[in-house]
Structure 1
Amino acid sequence: MSNSPELTELFARLASRIRSDDQSDEDDDELVSSLNQSLSLSQVPRVRVLETALSLMCFTAPQVIESVVDCSVNTIVSVLCSLVDCKVLRSGKTEVLRVGSSISGHDCLGVMECCAEILGKVNEHGTLSCSLLYAVLRVAAMTTQFSYTKQLTPVLNVQPADEMIPAISKLACYMPKEINLENQELQMRLILWYLDPQNLLKDVSQILQDVVRRPFICLDAELYDKIEWRLIIICLAFTPLMFIETRALLHRWFLLTGLASVLELEVELVSVVLDVLSRPMRWGLSAETGSNLPFSYAYFPFKHQLFRILAQTLSSDRFLELVHNVKKTVTHAKRKLKHVATTTSMVNHKSAWAMAMNFPEWFYFAALLLSGASFSDNIICGVDEDNPPAASSFSANAAWYIAWIIDPIDESVCGLLSEKLENLSRALNNKHLSSYEHKRLKKPKPNTCQSQTIRLWLEDLEDGKTIDMKNNVMFRKIILGVLIGCSDAINEDGYEWLLHYVATGTLPRSIESQHAGLRHKRWNYDSNDKSSQKEAVTGACIVFHLTDIADKISDSVFETREIAVDFICKVKLKAVGYLLKCVKRLLQFEIDENSDILTKDLLRRILRWRHQGKDVFHCYKDLDDTISIIASKFS
């Protein structure tokens, strides 16, 4: 301090006068006044004296203020925590245990509003604001409306009052941005979902918007790598009720919109939550925390027996068990139906169909069985060698399962489609020309038999108008499973044509010129042609999706990992031509602010695709050049 000599002199004079008995009170008052004036730098002497005294003890003003804030907020937190209690209410011999907050809903609203104002001022204090936010949310969650009869029977309303919703929304704005799985943030997000379910809807909607906006996103990797999304997944894993609500929400959206991206998100959410249950430490949870996760039956209370079959490893024997279980469930459900309006129960989130849709690997496995790969090549594991089922048994059950997935309500459509799928299976497994080709082809070219058969089968379905092929999300995906099963029998041109059909849903009119027509197809090079751009995006996504399917089911289908890797590479080599054609077409469109993220995702996705299984494209100039062009967009 600059005036320390003067202070020393004043303290010395004061001390000497106190020791002397002959000094008057007036002299003492004058000396104290001088000391006050020396210590005080403002018009509030007492405050400045305290600050100066603290400064003599090496405390700065910001430290003092911060300490006051800490003490004040911690006091508020302690008071809020003390508001939650547990009481036993007695009336005669009747006892009721009440757990909750001791303040009313109206008072709680005032507390929430006050705390929101405080959080706005101390938001930069991370740990401090987090503790306050958690404390006030905990009080709000425990503040319920009780009313009692004379027998103390409680009538409980756990839903927050309408006037509390704005206050909850204000508090939600102060959720910490930096996420630590070991702090209170998991509990806070769960409490926010509980207080206002719209917060859960908002979190799920934000993920879905990104999925729709970014068609090349690696959703499984993004749900893990993006910390905010990972936190949502872990919260869902810790609360089966919220998981059930989320799954039901996405399923309703899928039924309303028919969007494949909604179904993709629902499937991936189920997959990653099950992964959290099986490998909690991979998701950043401690062993102790992971041990507190519920068992799987808590997440699938409806059709749990069916879930246990679907969650197992793919095999032929389990597939037959699955079909038997589904048929029994469907038959039981139809017996309960008394009028047409109740058929919605056959496709709602509690239905067997909804459960099966969450495990699409079985659908593609059925298409694989349909192609006859298990019998011609003996590649599928899980068949009882001592008592192997007949090939017709596999194909018939595979045809029924696929038809049921495509139309679970209309039994006549399901039966007709199942019959036509069996016809396709017989045609694909026939070493000679199928009946379609005998009737409609004079001289089929070598190595085009399988793709020609599939094409004619599709035309037969389209002419008969069995189903709405273009608007059914799952129908065209049958071809993806068939492509995996017939990868040896279909050449690159056939692969390209069938992938083009899956992407666009269109069939060239000329049978003989199908390969030439696709090979020499002239794309519309107008940069404003959004339909052409969408077609290119969809085509590339189909190739990525095909490879992901082959990757997911290969370990179950093949006996060794080495065979599985070789098979994935075989699929990639067949599909690379169509992928490059789509990507090159896409690169001709100008990159703007909206498509910048699309191109970045494309680069990440194509690099991941290249290394799936193993990289078999060494010195593959066309692919290398395409990747270099994509990368140069950001240099």
Structure 2
Amino acid sequence: MNRLSEITDLFARLASNLQTLDPKGGNEDQACDLSIAKLNQSLNLNENSRVRVLDTALSLMCFKAPQVFDSVIEYLVKTIVSVLSSSITCKVLRFQKEEVLRIGSVIPSHDCTELIEVCADVLGKLGGHGMLSHPLLCAVVKVAVSASHFRYVVQSTPIFEVKSTDWRITNVSKLLSHLPKEISFKSQEIPLRLLLWYLDPLILKEDVSQILQDAIRRPFLCLNVAFYERMDWRCILTCLVLSPAMFIETRALLHNWFLMTGLASVLELQIELVSLVLDVISRPMWWGIPMEVGSKLPFSQSYFPQKHHLLRTLAGPLSCDNFLRLVHSTSKTVSHARRHSDSTLKQAAIKAARIDHKSMWAMAMNFPDWFFFASPRSSAAAARYIAWILSPISESHQDLIVNCLTKISESWTLRQISSDNHYKGTAGYNKLKKPKFHDNKECHTVLKEYDCSYIQLWLKEFQDIYTMNWKITVNSSACCDAKSSSGISLHQNVLFRRIPLGILIGCSGGIKEDGCELLLHYAATGIIPPLAETRTAGLKDRRWGSRAQEDSITWTEKCNIKEAVAGACLVFRLTDVIEIMSVSLFENEESGVEFICRVKLRARKYLLSCMKKLLHFEIDEDGGGLLMLRDLCSRLIRWRHQGRDVFQDSMDLNDAIEALSHKLSSS
């Protein structure tokens, strides 16, 4: 019974039995009795027979009508599942001296349209029989996935069915509403969602798009926590881990979206997925994957078949040695491309290959912590790596950016008092050293604390060096915090704006709180406010929402909601990076914790200014604003305890949390 007509006849019988029970009302016992009467009639020798076989058997075994009805449905579903499973075979076809191995269903692909349609109709009626819906759905999807795209007019003479995939676009979507939210590993079978991805790749695109839309609507959502706690997201992540091919497809999809849109949220999701997949394959049981399945997961090379040697460095600890290896690898690629760029056509192909999803640059973009690791280091290696990230296509632009970064570094160095400062001079590739991260005590004795006016002058010089001398533009929309365009200015580049954060990372103790606030605001928005608007008192000794605070108009209060969101997200992101960097930059844990706390103290004022703006955010009817504020509250609580809680007596932070909690409770 492998012909489609016989299988659809079974579905018709199942649908007929399900239809007997009216879901909109009526007496269930009467409906079941009617179904039994029909079954009884089919078992009798003829319509006039007085021998009631089924009635007698039911009376002797004390079965009730609903039990019989459920049994009829159950065994009919099991019969259909068995028939569908048996249609998938492995067979050797011989024609003259040739042999063809055919693995898959004997049902051709073009016949699966009707099969999916009747299955979707029956699944809708099996609502009260959830345990039966899943095996039936799995059986149909397996047949559709393994269905042959060839039809055989004569044995061993395959003809490709050109229209064989047209039905997928409109029919597979009918099965999506019946997908389970969780994955069951009891039978160690391929998850149903993964089968549907193979059946129709548009479903994968839709799943990734839905996650991306949620991440955009909720900018403060901690993605790694969400992927663990939300079962539907964890199911998607698990399917990506179980199928390296689908993970590669997803990474390529997000990378192409990023190149087309330049949206930072797209890149952030791609970064998080890469990190999570590496985490799942390293500790699968923590993610709910049983040991027998986790032990069979492939190695990282299966997920990153291109540039896998680079992955070992990028995914390794942040250290000077690893950074030098990374710079040498990228420099070698650039020099190789220069030697093999003969024709214009070949140059275009090489440039396109430098930024596609298989490129070394695409791999490096998935590990942005190295960019922050390079920013506080005034060396030729650091400048070269930053330039390569900012402009992966044009070598001439890279050289210009290196010169720009060198002048910027010299400008900052000339403004330093201490000759012992780690920003002085430029080291060679092999002389990269750890910068000296001064604590607050050292800053009072060695360095003076630079205020907002000083930082503002340096930031203007930072922009002028670029604007007056080179007018560098990026040839593609990659790395840009704007809509797709072929001529985005480099200073609009979100990563370019974050270069000055190297000062905050490497010399946080030598910059006053308002100076740090200006650095963060520029990195988040690209805006340098006028000097007159920066001369305001700090938040010290002023209660949150006090009259004195409300009377003072600061430049951060003039920012819009979008800029406030970007600013708060930057503070949280920077703290996460600092936490990762502290492990490799300091010899003991206590020094690393002090480093995290020092940066947090300097970033506090700017974060509170952003929060004050966000508290005026009107919550929309669909609850999107409410979710955003809830995520903000969760991130703020986590941020407060990162490293160590240094805000026990901070009245302004306590008042901010209280105001946020009050707004949430009253919504």
Alignment equivalent of 1:355, drawn from 363, 381, 384? 363
Residue deviations 1:544-568, cap 9 Å, x none?
1111111222212222232222211
Q: 1:135 maps to what in 2?
A: 139
How far apart in 1 are the matches of 2:285 and 2:564? 39
Letter in 2 for 1:490: I
Secondary structure of 1:589's aligned partner: coil
Aligned to 1:602: 632
Q: Indicate the larger mover: 124-133 or 317-326.
A: 124-133
Q: Supply the distance in 1 between the matched residues of 2:268 and 2:537 (Cα, whole angstroms).
A: 29
* Structure 2 equivalent of residue 416 of structure 1: 400
CA distance in 2, matches of 1:77, 1:591: 49
Selected match of 1:555 from 583, 587, 610: 583
Q: Which residue of 1 aligns with 2:650?
A: 620
Taking structure 1 as the reference length, the TM-score comes to: 0.81
Distance of aligned partners of 1:361 and 1:96 in 2 relative to their CA distance in 1, 3 Å threshold: same
Residues 196 and 203 in structure 2, CA contact (< 8 A), matched pair in contact too: yes
Whole-angstrom distance in 2 between the partners of 1:151 and 1:129? 36
- Distance apart, 1:127 and its partner CA: 2.6
Counterpart-to-counterpart distance in 1, 2:649 and 2:608: 15
Q: Deviations over 1:173-210 (max 9, x none)?
A: 21124554546785211111111110000000000001
The DSSP-based 3-state class of the residue aligned with 2:104 is strand
Give yes or no for the alignment of 1:447 onto 2:449: yes
Deviations 1:519-571 (A, max 9, x none): 6654697xxx9x61112111111111111111222212222232222211111
1:341 aligned to 345, 348, 362, which one? Answer: 348
Per the TM alignment, residue 147 of structure 1 is displaced from its structure 2 partner at its CA by 6.2
2:44 equivalent in structure 1: none
Paired residue type of 1:477: R
Return the match for 1:239 from 238, 243, 247.
243
Give the alignment partner of residue 456 of structure 1, picking from 452, 458, 461. Answer: 461
Residue number among 313, 319, 322 corresponding to 1:318 in the alignment? 322
Q: Deviations over 1:398-434 (max 9, x none)?
A: 0010011111122222111111212333444564389
SS for the counterpart of 2:93 is strand
Question: Which one of 213, 238, 241 corresponds to residue 209 of structure 1?
Answer: 213
Q: Which has the larger radius of gyration?
A: 1
Q: 1:51 to 1:595 in 2, by over 3 A?
A: farther
Aligned position for 2:6: none
Deviation of the 1:153 alpha carbon: 8.8
1:481 Cα shift? 3.5
What are the ranges of 5 or more consecutive residues in structure 1 without an aligned counterpart? 1-39, 371-394, 435-444
Query: For residues 120-519 of structure 1, what are the structure 2 equivalents within 5 Å?
Result: 120-146=124-150, 161-182=165-186, 187-337=191-341, 338-339=343-344, 340-342=347-349, 343-370=351-378, 395-429=379-413, 431-432=416-417, 446-448=448-450, 451=455, 452-464=457-469, 465-467=471-473, 468-510=489-531, 515-516=534-535
- Contact 1:88/1:97 (8 A) holds in 2: yes
SS in structure 2 at match of 1:102: strand
Cross-structure match for 2:661? 631
Q: Which has the larger displacement, 460-469 or 81-90?
A: 460-469
1:41-56 equivalences in 2 (<5 Å): 50=54, 54=58
Distance in structure 1 (CA, Å) of the matches to 2:185 and 2:502: 39
Q: Which amino acid aligns with 1:457?
A: F
Contact 2:108/2:151 (<8 A) preserved: no
- Structure 2: how far apart are the matches of 1:615 and 1:329? 45
Aligned partners of 1:95 and 1:484: how far apart in 2? Answer: 66
Counterpart Cα distance in 1 of 2:147 and 2:353: 36
Separation in 2 of the partners of 1:52 and 1:570?
Answer: 85
**C-alpha distance in 1 between matches for 2:463 and 2:176:** 52
Q: How many residues align?
A: 556
Select between 98-107 and 52-61 the one with higher mean Cα deviation: 52-61
Residues 367 and 398 of structure 1 are in contact (CA less than 8 Å); yes or no, is this contact kept in structure 2?
yes
Question: Helix, strand or coil: the match of 1:103?
Answer: strand
Q: Which amino acid aligns with 1:598?
A: M
By how many angstroms is 1:288 displaced? 1.2
Counterpart residue type for residue 133 of structure 2: S
Structure 2: distance between partners of 1:153 and 1:351? 41
CA distances 1:272-297 after superposition (whole Å, capped 9, x unpaired): 01111111111101111111111111
Q: Deviations over 1:212-259 (max 9, x none)?
A: 111111112111211111111111111111111111111111111111
Tell me, yes or no, if the aligned pair for 1:551 and 1:568 is still in contact at 8 Å.
yes
CA distance in 1, matches of 2:502, 2:203: 38
Q: 1:546 to 1:164 in 2, by over 3 A?
A: closer
Task: Tell me which residue corresponds to 1:31.
Answer: none
C-alpha distance 498-462 of structure 1, shift in aligned 2 (>3 A): farther
| Amino acid paired to 2:595 | F
Q: C-alpha distance in 1, partners of 2:491/2:319?
A: 31
Evaluate the alpha carbon distance shift between residue 432 and residue 90 of structure 1 in structure 2; reply closer, same or farther with a 3 A threshold. same
Give 5+ residue unaligned stretches, structure 2: 1-32, 42-51, 420-446, 474-488, 539-551
Q: 1:142 to 1:267 in 2, by over 3 A?
A: same
CA RMSD in angstroms, aligned pairs only: 3.0
Which residue is 1:578 aligned to? Answer: 606
- Matched with 1:58 is 62
Check whether the contact 2:556–2:609 (CA below 8 A) recurs between aligned residues. no
Question: CA separation in 1, counterparts of 2:86 and 2:573?
Answer: 54
Report the Cα distance in structure 2 between the residues aligned to 1:361 and 1:563, rounded to whole angstroms.
Answer: 20
1:151 Cα deviation from its structure 2 partner:
12
Q: Is the 8 A contact 2:95 2:156 kept in 1?
A: yes
Residue in 2 aligned with 1:30? none
- What is the one-letter code of the residue matched to 1:613? G
Separation in structure 2 between the aligned mates of residue 518 and residue 233 of structure 1, nearest angstrom: 48
In the alignment, which of 582, 593, 596 is matched to residue 565 of structure 1? 593
Contact map agreement 1:144 1:158 (CA 8 A) in 2: no
Seen in structure 2, the aligned counterparts of structure 1 residues 157 and 346 have a Cα distance that, compared at 3 Å, is farther
Rounded to whole Å, the distance in 1 between the matches of 2:34 and 2:251 is: 65
- Structure-2 separation of matches of 1:562 and 1:69: 66
Calculate the TM-score normalised by the size of structure 2: 0.77
Determine if contact 1:240/1:299 at 8 Å carries over to the other structure.
yes
Contact 1:309/1:322, CA 8 A, preserved across alignment: yes
SS in 2 for 1:508: coil
Aligned equivalents of 1:184 and 1:117: distance in 2?
Answer: 28
The letter of the residue matching 1:214 is: R
Q: Which residue pairs with 2:436 in the alignment?
A: none
**Mapped partners of 1:286, 1:42: distance in 2:** 43
Q: Distance in 2 between matches of 1:202 and 1:620?
A: 45
Maintained 8 Å contact 1:536/1:585: yes
The question of whether the paired residues in 1 share the 8 Å contact of 2:108 and 2:150 is answered with no
**Secondary structure in 1 matching 2:107:** coil
Deviation, 1:595, is 1.1
1:546 aligns with 2:563: no
